[in-house]
Structure formats: C-alpha cells, structure tokens
C-alpha cells in the first residue's frame, strides 16, 4: 500500500482488483463509482464521495450527459477539482446519444425527447460533457442505449473525429444486444470495449436464459440475444449498472421486506466473511468469470465503503448458486 495526498486530504490506499477493460490495455478497477444521483449533493458531500472512492482505490467514474440534465457531471467535475485530483490518475467515462425533452444544461440547443446518434449530436454531446467535467478528454465514451434510427457511418465518423482530436480514447455501448453491437462495430476502426447492462442479484435475466436453454419456462425467454456469452467471446467488458435495484428502479433489495429469504442468505454469508450484505451483493457479481465491472450508484459514503470491499470476498461456487436460488431462481 502507498500513501497519497490530494489537496489537504491524506489517506492510505487500499488495493482494488483490476481488469483490462475490453482488452483495450486500459487497466481499471473492477468497481466504479456511478454518479447519476450526485447532483443533489453539496460540494462537501460530493468531494467526500470522490475521496472515499479514491481511498478504496476506485479511480473510475461513470456519468452521462442526461443525469440530472447534465448537472451530475458538473458536480462530479467540481468535486474532482476540489479534491485536488490529478487528471492522469483517474478514468472518466460518460455516455451520450439521448436528448431530453428540454435538452441538457450548458445550452447546446438540442431538444427532444429522442435518441440521436447523429455525428453532429455525438460530437456536441462530448464537447458539452468535457466542459461540465472540466477536462480535456474522456477515457471512455459510451453510446447511451440503442438508437433505431442510427446510421453506423455517422457514428464511425463521429468516433474518428473524437479520437483524432484527443477528446475520447475508447468507445463502447450501453443496453445493446449482440446484433446491435455488431452493427455498430462493423463500421468502426475502434474496438468497442464495454457494454453497460443492468445486472445484479435481482436482475439476472442474461444468466437465467443461459441456464434455461432448450426450455419453455419463463426464465428461458432470452431478452438479450445471448449477450453474456457474446461479451465473453468478444472480450467486451460488461459494466453492471444498478446492481442493488430490483425491477427497473423499483428500489433496493437489501433490507427489503419483500425479499426475506434473500436477505437471510446474504446476512448468513456476511456473518461468515465478517462483512455486510452490501459487500456480499457485489462479491456475487464479481464472482462470475465474465470479469464484469460493477458500477456502484450509492451516494452514502458508509454504504459505498462496504460495497467497494466486494472484491475482497471470494465466494464458493455453491455460495454463488445459493444466493441465486435465494433470489427466487432455480435450475431446470
């Protein structure tokens, strides 16, 4: 371990496990801090979140231009500045391609609502994000959900220009199935390194379909086109978003009375390993050999501290399956 100083704040680094993001050579922590909900935090609170992440050796930050209409990126950028962070010591990832009804802040003039992967909008989206984040470049830029009106050639031209100008180093997608990824990739010079997908104990659709092959039950329905196996074959990192939510932002499952069996199992394992249920929930995702990166969205410093210890716990395969069963799943 080594000591580090950022501004007036001193801590001792805790080593976090690393992955090679999509085989890009970008060596990043297997846990990232997502800041969708940071916009409502004070400057001091936002700085504390950034410092907690760095204390845990989590130096990868994920945002998007639609989070709080752009304010989340503004708050993150200022928090990094207030913490005295050197740009070369962190990784910044953002997403673009969605236009809100009233547009995003910073006044690029685009109005929606719609998805828009046009060259002009993608370049504009990055330019505005760089201003909000107070930086010259993004380490990773993701297409935010699939735009059915996408012209892959326009995406390719935008990516080429953004890379040539030094504004973006690597590119990826979010919430895309294999054929959508292939459609984009076919026109690109750059390899798509990541696909951000919702995944966690209570959102295991991509695993359910992989297990219930050649079956006719509900869990055999493949909503994602075999994205899990595809991602592993293509060495495309899955970034697991909303890992503590059930449904589509219906709420957290930890300490939720709707899931007594699951919480009992998580507590049992937490007691065994001397950690908390939050830690075990992250360990569940990291145990999968797909080598996912977990994007944590908690804005509570204490919970983040627990979650970021997820890679310090190595579950057995049986314990992983026991959690899967406790979440209401089964085997054919």
Q: Which CATH number does the domain housing residue 65 bear? A: 3.20.20.100
pLDDT of residue 224: 85
Query: Could you tell me if residue 289 is inside a domain?
Result: yes
Q: Which of 131, 118, 133, 129 is nearest to 95 (CA)?
A: 129
* C-alpha separations of 285 from 2, 56, 88, 280 in Å: 28, 18, 28, 9
DSSP for 136-203, please give it.
S-EEEEEE-S--TT--HHHHHHHHHHHHHTTSEEEEEEES--HHHHHHHHTT-SSPEEEEEEE-BTTB
pLDDT of residue 203: 94
Query: Could you tell me if residue 46 is inside a domain?
Result: yes
pLDDT of residue 8: 41
Q: Is the separation of the CB atoms in 285 and 313 below 8 Å?
A: no
Give the gyration radius of the chain's Cα atoms. 20
Query: Could you tell me if residue 123 is inside a domain?
Result: yes
Tokens 């994920």, located at residue? 62
pLDDT of residue 196: 98
End-to-end CA distance of the chain: 46
Query: Could you tell me if residue 331 is inside a domain?
Result: no
Mean pLDDT of the chain, nearest integer: 93
What is the C-alpha to C-alpha distance for residues 42 and 62, in angstroms, rounded to an integer?
A: 19
pLDDT of residue 5: 41
Task: For residue 197, count other CB atoms closer than 10 A to its CB.
Answer: 23
Query: Whole-prediction pTM value?
Result: 0.93
Tokens 């007036």, located at residue? 8
Q: Which domain holds residue 297?
A: 10-326
Query: Could you tell me if residue 332 is inside a domain?
Result: no
Query: Could you tell me if residue 159 is inside a domain?
Result: yes
- Averaged pLDDT in 10-residue chunks for the chain of 332 residues: 41 77 98 97 98 97 96 98 97 95 69 92 95 98 96 98 98 97 98 97 93 81 90 98 88 96 98 98 98 97 97 97 97 94
> In the structure encoding, which two tokens stand for residue 28, read together?
């990043």
Query: Could you tell me if residue 318 is inside a domain?
Result: yes
Query: Could you tell me if residue 5 is inside a domain?
Result: no
Number of domains the chain is built from = 1
* Residue 113 DSSP one-character state: S
pLDDT single digits (tens) 86-144: 999 999 999 999 998 887 765 567 788 999 999 999 999 999 999 999 999 999 999 99
pLDDT of residue 214: 76
Question: Which residues fall within 8 angstroms of residue 153, CB to CB, at 6 or more apart?
Answer: 187
Burial class (CB in 10 A: 0-12, 13-18, 19+), 25: exposed
């Amino acid at each position: 371990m080594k000591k580090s100083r950022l501004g007036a704040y001193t801590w001792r680094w805790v080593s976090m496990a690393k992955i090679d993001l999509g085989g890009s050579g970008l060596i990043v922590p297997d846990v990232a801090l997502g800041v969708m909900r940071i916009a409502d935090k004070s400057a001091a609170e936002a700085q504390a979140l950034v410092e907690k992440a760095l204390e845990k050796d989590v130096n990868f930050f994920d945002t998007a231009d639609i989070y709080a209409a752009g304010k989340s990126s503004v708050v993150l950028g200022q928090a990094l500045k207030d913490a005295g962070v050197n740009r070369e010591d962190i990784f910044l990832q953002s997403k673009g391609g969605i236009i809100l009804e009233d547009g995003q802040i910073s006044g690029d003039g685009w109005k929606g609502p719609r998805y828009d992967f046009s060259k002009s909008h993608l370049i504009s989206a990055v330019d505005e994000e760089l201003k909000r984040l107070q930086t010259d470049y993004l380490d990773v830029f993701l297409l935010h959900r699939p735009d059915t009106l996408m012209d892959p050639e326009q995406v390719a031209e935008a990516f080429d220009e953004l890379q040539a100008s030094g504004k973006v180093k690597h590119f990826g997608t979010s919430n895309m199935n294999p054929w959508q990824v292939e459609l984009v990739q076919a026109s690109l010079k750059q390899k798509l390194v990541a696909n951000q997908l919702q995944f966690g104990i209570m959102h295991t659709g991509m695993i359910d379909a992989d297990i219930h092959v050649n079956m006719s039950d509900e869990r055999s329905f493949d909503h994602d086109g075999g994205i899990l196996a595809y991602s592993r074959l293509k060495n495309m990192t899955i970034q697991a978003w909303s890992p503590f939510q059930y449904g589509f932002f219906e709420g957290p499952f930890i300490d939720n009375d709707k899931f007594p069996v699951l919480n009992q199992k998580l507590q049992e394992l937490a007691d065994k390993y001397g950690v908390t249920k939050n830690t075990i929930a992250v360990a569940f995702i990291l145990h999968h050999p797909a080598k996912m990166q977990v994007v944590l969205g908690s804005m509570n410093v204490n919970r983040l501290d627990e979650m970021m210890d997820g890679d310090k716990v190595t579950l057995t395969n049986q314990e992983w399956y026991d959690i899967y069963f406790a979440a209401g799943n089964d085997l054919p």
